[in-house]
Amino acid sequence: MIGGPPSIAGAQAPPSMSSPAVDDTSPPPRRSGAEATGFVDLGGVHRAIRELRPAYEHYEAARAQFEQSVEASLAKIPANTRDTAMAFLRREFPEMPGATAFAAPAAATGGVPEASSTVTNFAAHVLGTVTPPGDADEQSAFLARIADILQTTAQAFVEIRNVQARFGEEMGVRTIREFTPLHAAADARGVLDYLLDWRRGGPERNAQLSAVYSDFMLHQVALINGVVEGVQAMMDQFRPAEIERGVGGLSKAAGAWKKYSERYVEVVEDRGIAALVFGPEFARAYSEVGNG
């Protein structure tokens, strides 16, 4: 047939009138946050947070309750012994709030650490029968142990120092022969900063530390001597001769008992044992130690 339409099957698409194709350099369409992080499964993380939240809330409540209990317990203890009580509490509950926080030694990064001859030589210098650390792992453990000992010692130093100073204030006696920056250090970290500062430290600071420990030792001796003298002064008031001296016209037995009762009320109940034991005789005997 002439003039019929071309077959649809053999039809060709008309040429495009658009501009020639070029490479598309535009950024890809922005994906939503969920799609962008689709390669990380956060479901387990969020589930762990939900599971741990009640336990954390219990932890916070327990911590607050413990702090309140500590304050309530210390409030029942005489003010002059609270520092001592706190030192015992920290020893019994080492993770309790209020202790000086120290950061753990940072882990080495950047490959396998190498052993240092400096650490080995230092260990050989300070250790006696213990073999110095050899490889890097042993040296790291050794240095971590040194850090633990220094921190524990500094914390104990501060607590003993504070107790001794408070005792001197309460009893009216001098417990510190010479005031040094070690007495002014606010906490254990301040003590370590002062003692381990190799740029400005030296024999003078070593001598100051030795003097503070000497004061600790003298305090113990003076305390014993003072207590003995204080108790002796108290007991002297109950000597038979002292009681008989105050007996008047009553029979000796009745008068002595009456006088004893009056003396007991006057000495023990009115003045109190602490005022008697830690009285002038105690202060005199305490001050004599180390001043001879």
Domain ranges for the chain: 47-96
Sheet strands (E) in the chain = none
Residue 211: count other Cβ atoms within 10 Å of its Cβ.
Answer: 15
pLDDT at 220: 79
pLDDT-derived band at 193 (thresholds 50, 70, 90) equals: very high
What does the CA dihedral 30, 35, 37, 41 come to, rounded to 10 degrees? Answer: 180
Q: Residue 187's closest CA among 164, 208, 149, 161?
A: 161
* Distance (Å, whole) CA 159 – CA 189: 13
Q: What is the mean pLDDT of residues 275-287?
A: 72
Tell me the average pLDDT of the chain.
75
pLDDT at 179: 84
| Contact status, residue 133 vs residue 123, Cβ threshold 8 Å | yes
The tokens for 33 are 């946050």
Between 90 and 178, whose confidence is greater?
A: 178
* Distance (Å, whole) CA 170 – CA 219: 14
Q: Is pTM, for the whole model, over 0.85?
A: no
pLDDT-derived band at 1 (thresholds 50, 70, 90) equals: very low
Q: What is the mean pLDDT of residues 264-272?
A: 68
pLDDT at 249: 58
Close Cβ partners of 53 (under 8 Å, ≥ 6 residues apart): none
In the predicted model, is pLDDT for residue 276 greater than 90? no
Between 207 and 255, whose confidence is greater?
A: 207
Share of the chain above pLDDT 70, in %: 67
| Contact status, residue 165 vs residue 183, Cβ threshold 8 Å | yes
Residue with tokens 């005199």: 284
Q: What is the pLDDT of residues 88-135, one digit of tens each?
A: 777 677 677 655 555 555 555 555 556 678 888 888 998 889 888 988
* Distance (Å, whole) CA 179 – CA 196: 19
In the predicted model, is pLDDT for residue 278 greater than 80? no
Q: Residue 150's closest CA among 129, 116, 126?
A: 126
pLDDT at 34: 45
In the predicted model, is pLDDT for residue 69 greater than 50? yes
CA 116, 120, 123, 129 torsion-angle sign? positive
Close Cβ partners of 201 (under 8 Å, ≥ 6 residues apart): 194, 195
Q: Between vectors from CA 221 to CA 176 and to CA 228, what angle results, nearest 5°? A: 120
Q: What is the pLDDT of residues 235-256, one digit of tens each?
A: 777 776 766 666 665 566 777 7
pLDDT-derived band at 35 (thresholds 50, 70, 90) equals: very low
pLDDT at 191: 92
In the predicted model, is pLDDT for residue 25 greater than 50? yes
In the predicted model, is pLDDT for residue 208 greater than 80? yes
Residue 41: count other Cβ atoms within 10 Å of its Cβ.
Answer: 8
Between 218 and 271, whose confidence is greater?
A: 218
In the predicted model, is pLDDT for residue 201 greater than 60? yes
In the predicted model, is pLDDT for residue 65 greater than 50? yes
* Distance (Å, whole) CA 128 – CA 229: 43
| Contact status, residue 150 vs residue 194, Cβ threshold 8 Å | no
